[in-house]
């Protein structure tokens, strides 16, 4: 029964939840030889993994993916809070927390409305608009909050997309080249924004933390990193909320919070053992990969948290509040313009860790069934 689906194909399966329930019950913490990874799916196992500081966000032998060595992408990757542990992570994370805390709800709502207004031009009601909106709304909103001008929004959103695509493991050389150019453009844009940012803004807060551990280069990389972090994850949260029949939901904030647990956008995250360590009775060896299946733990009746979608411990998501709000307001703006009552996912993006619906069916895209 476990043959046709595994923890990496589950996020794009039409309905992975019966599989997750069985996995959690029958194999809450096991070594999967086919995947070459330990897999944690019960809430206790996921908490043990994400709470153990011997398990790091990057393999000890490859802090930066080999394909990114000697590239600009690799230099930025090595500075991202999400991709580091230790003193650099602590400093970058502290700066990000201070930065994101400056964003008031009214301010994020205004940025979401401005961005939605640009993306949803009157009369555009086909599913391709929605498929693009899922990604462009969160990235555009964060960009506006970071001080990007409206006129530069399209270019920044496209550059963020190229950057994200280049960081996908085993990205083809063409994607790496576009990502490298995109990052250079984003770097110059944010450099100029840091130069001219108003006091009290998220970018000014980030810049105020620049010191010997958290350099100017790191501040810029992590500002770009915010676009990266919101790109797929918020797209999934908006998309999965659209699949949860929001057409007549009375309270979209409540619906989004529910979807974040029952049909989460981020299904799993990885860790790598920095040294041999015992976890839930098993010895995990230095260099071993561990997969924490957040989406399986979300439905564990024994869970001690409302959900695991935003992670926990040292790397827990600092953008949770903003992400939930962008999704709820994003769906509200869409609902005000487009009839969502018949919207259905045609398929899901073939990603191993995020669940993002695609609403355009192949026949709409190409004129013939793919």
**Residues at the interface with ligand HEM (CB under 6 A):** 57, 81-82, 93, 96, 142, 225-226, 229-230, 233-234, 237, 265-266, 269, 309-311, 315, 317-319, 322-323
Nearer to ligand HEM, 310 or 348 (CB): 310
CA 143 to chain centre: 15
Q: Look at residues 326, 366, 368 and name the one whose alpha carbon lies nearest to residue 227.
A: 326
Nearer to ligand HEM, 28 or 318 (CB): 318
Least distance (Å) from ligand HEM to the CB of residue 324? 7
Nearer to ligand HEM, 28 or 138 (CB): 138
Cβ contact 294:267 at 8 Å = yes
Nearer to ligand HEM, 320 or 361 (CB): 320
Least distance (Å) from ligand HEM to the CB of residue 89? 6
Q: Look at residues 33, 30, 59 and name the one whose alpha carbon lies nearest to residue 42.
A: 30
Nearer to ligand HEM, 93 or 333 (CB): 93
What percentage of the chain's residues is helix, strand, coil (to nearest 5)? 55, 10, 40
Least distance (Å) from ligand HEM to the CB of residue 44? 17
Least distance (Å) from ligand HEM to the CB of residue 368? 34
Quick one: residue 70, left, alpha or beta (phi over 0 = left, psi -120 to 50 = alpha)? left
Nearer to ligand HEM, 68 or 322 (CB): 322
Least distance (Å) from ligand HEM to the CB of residue 309? 5
Q: Give me 341's structure tokens.
A: 């009552």
- Position of minimal CB gap to ligand HEM: 319
Least distance (Å) from ligand HEM to the CB of residue 285? 20
Least distance (Å) from ligand HEM to the CB of residue 115? 13
Least distance (Å) from ligand HEM to the CB of residue 92? 7
Nearer to ligand HEM, 145 or 338 (CB): 145
- The CA distance from 39 to 43, in Å, is 12
Least distance (Å) from ligand HEM to the CB of residue 109? 14
Cβ contact 219:206 at 8 Å = yes
Nearer to ligand HEM, 166 or 224 (CB): 224
Nearer to ligand HEM, 90 or 365 (CB): 90
């Amino acid at each position: 029964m476990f043959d046709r689906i595994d923890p990496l194909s589950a996020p794009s399966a039409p309905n992975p939840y019966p599989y997750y329930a069985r996995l959690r019950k029958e194999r809450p913490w096991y070594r999967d030889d086919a995947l070459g990874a330990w897999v944690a799916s019960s809430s206790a196992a996921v908490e043990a993994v994400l709470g153990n500081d011997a398990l790091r966000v990057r393999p000890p032998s490859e802090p930066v993916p080999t394909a990114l060595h000697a590239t600009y992408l690799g230099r930025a990757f090595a500075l991202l809070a999400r991709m580091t542990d230790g003193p650099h992570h602590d400093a970058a994370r502290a700066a990000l927390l201070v930065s994101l805390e400056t964003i008031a709800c009214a301010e994020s709502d205004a940025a979401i409305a401005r961005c939605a207004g640009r993306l949803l031009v009157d009369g555009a009601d086909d599913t391709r608009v929605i498929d693009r909106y899922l990604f462009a709304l969160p990235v555009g909103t964060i960009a506006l909050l970071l001080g990007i001008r409206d006129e530069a929004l399209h270019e920044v959103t496209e550059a963020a997309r190229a950057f994200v695509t280049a960081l996908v493991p085993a990205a083809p050389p063409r994607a790496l080249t576009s990502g490298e150019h995109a990052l250079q453009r984003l770097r110059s844009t944010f450099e100029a924004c840091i130069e001219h940012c108003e006091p009290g803004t998220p970018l000014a807060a980030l810049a105020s933390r620049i010191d010997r551990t958290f350099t100017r280069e790191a501040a810029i990389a992590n500002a770009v990193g915010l676009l990266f972090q919101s790109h797929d994850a918020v797209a999934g949260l908006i998309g999965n909320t659209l699949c949860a029949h929001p057409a007549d939901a009375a309270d979209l904030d409540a619906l989004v919070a529910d979807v974040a647990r029952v049909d989460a956008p981020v299904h799993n995250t990885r860790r790598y053992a920095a040294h041999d360590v015992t976890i839930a009775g098993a010895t995990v060896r230095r260099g071993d990969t561990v997969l924490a299946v957040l989406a399986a733990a979300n439905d564990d009746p024994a869970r001690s948290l409302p959900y695991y979608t935003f992670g926990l411990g040292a790397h827990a998501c600092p953008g949770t509040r903003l992400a939930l709000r962008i999704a709820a307001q994003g769906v509200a703006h869409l609902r005000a313009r487009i009839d969502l009552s018949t919207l259905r996912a045609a398929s899901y993006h073939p990603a191993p860790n995020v669940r993002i619906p695609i609403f355009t069916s192949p026949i709409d895209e190409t004129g013939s069934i793919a």
